């Protein structure tokens, strides 16, 4: 099974900050990685697919990058609507797995 | 865009079987465009992938649940179903169904989720 490790688990930041979340995989994923945003009581919302492709309707302040086993989600200027929990998910293996999540809190 | 709606009992007793239905609209569960999937989230915890289908009809299950789990597709009703036997309190979670576009690396649609509590 491919293990996904996100860091940090919690991140405290202010509006306007640049925020970076990292996801490390136990083996190379090629381009089969996505990022989701989840708010309390809501289903996850896709932000980025195939490592770096911005989903339609997602603000351009979100970006994804990386290759092999290390990937990052960057929010260039944190907005009030961005305080949420973020998850990565791999689709390489036939057993899909999520990272454990990163909660972005108000500093 | 495909839309999904989960339904099922909100409360299940320990050792019994949890049964959920996901009603699909906007496309057919026979469609080769999607992996029909289940994901769950225990209260206050992260997302856990449960399993997904392939257009070929194959189904992949989370190994930690495989011995208790059945995912199936009912084409006559255009529904996806989940059955989890011998439930315990550890199976208390919000259960989501999702339609992942094949080959799209995460693109797709999610249902709103349904909370299932396991308690006597």
Phi, psi at A81, each rounded to 5°:
-75, -10
Residue A33 at interface with chain B, using a CB cutoff of 8 Å: yes
pLDDT tens-digit profile of A19-60? 999 999 999 998 999 999 999 999 999 999 999 999 999 999
Q: What is the pLDDT of residue A103?
A: 98
Find the helix or strand (DSSP H, E) in which B36 lies.
strand B34-41
Q: How open is the CA angle B13-B16-B19, to the nearest 5 degrees?
A: 100
Inspect the interface and report whether the beta carbons of A98 and B47 lie closer than 8 Å.
yes
Residues A33/A16, Cβ–Cβ less than 8 Å = no
Inspect the interface and report whether the beta carbons of B105 and A101 lie closer than 8 Å.
no
Pairing of strands B93-101, B108-110: antiparallel
- Contact residues on chain A for B47, CB-CB shorter than 8 A: 36, 38, 44, 87, 89, 98, 101
Residue A17 at interface with chain B, using a CB cutoff of 8 Å: no
Q: Which residue in the set A49, A53, A87 is minimally distant from B47, CB to CB?
A: A87
Q: Is a pLDDT exceeding 90 seen at residue A1? A: no
Residue A52 at interface with chain B, using a CB cutoff of 8 Å: no
- Contact residues on chain B for A32, CB-CB shorter than 8 A: 105
Helix extents (H) in B40-90: none
Centroid of chain to Cα B17: 14
Inspect the interface and report whether the beta carbons of B49 and A96 lie closer than 8 Å.
yes
Query: What span, in angstroms and rounded, lies between the C-alpha atoms of B20 and A37?
Result: 25
- Contact residues on chain A for B56, CB-CB shorter than 8 A: none
Q: How far is A17 from chain B (nearest CA, A)?
A: 25
Q: What is the pLDDT along chain B (120 residues), one digit of tens a residue?
A: 899 999 999 999 999 999 999 999 999 999 899 999 999 999 999 999 999 998 888 999 999 999 999 999 999 999 999 999 999 999 999 999 999 998 888 899 999 999 999 999
Q: What is the pLDDT of residue B105?
A: 83
Query: What span, in angstroms and rounded, lies between the C-alpha atoms of B98 and B4?
Result: 7
Q: How far is B45 from chain A (nearest CA, A)?
A: 8
Phi, psi at B68, each rounded to 5°:
-115, 0
Which residue spans within chain A are E strands per DSSP? 4-7, 10-13, 19-25, 33-38, 45-49, 53-54, 62-67, 70-75, 85-90, 97-98, 102-106
């Amino acid at each position: 099974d491919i293990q996904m490790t996100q860091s940090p688990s919690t991140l405290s930041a202010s509006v306007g900050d640049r925020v970076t979340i990292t996801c490390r995989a136990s083996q190379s994923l090629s381009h089969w990685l996505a990022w989701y945003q989840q708010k309390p009581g809501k289903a996850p919302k896709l932000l980025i697919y195939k490592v770096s492709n911005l989903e339609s309707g997602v603000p351009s302040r979100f970006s994804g990058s990386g290759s092999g086993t290390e990937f990052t989600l960057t929010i260039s200027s944190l907005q009030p609507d961005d305080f949420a929990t973020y998850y990565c998910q791999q689709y390489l293996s036939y057993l899909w797995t999520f990272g454990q999540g990163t909660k972005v809190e108000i500093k | 865009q495909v839309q999904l709606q989960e339904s099922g009992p909100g409360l299940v007793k320990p050792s019994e079987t949890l049964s959920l239905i996901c009603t699909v609209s906007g496309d057919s569960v026979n469609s080769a465009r999607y992996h029909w999937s289940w994901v769950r989230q225990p209260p206050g915890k992260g997302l856990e992938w449960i399993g997904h289908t392939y257009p070929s009809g194959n189904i992949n299950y989370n190994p930690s649940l495989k011995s208790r789990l059945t995912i199936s597709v009912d084409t006559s009703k255009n529904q996806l179903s989940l059955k989890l036997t011998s439930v315990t309190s550890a199976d208390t979670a919000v259960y989501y169904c999702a339609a992942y576009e094949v080959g799209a690396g995460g693109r797709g649609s999610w249902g709103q989720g349904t909370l299932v509590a396991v308690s006597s």
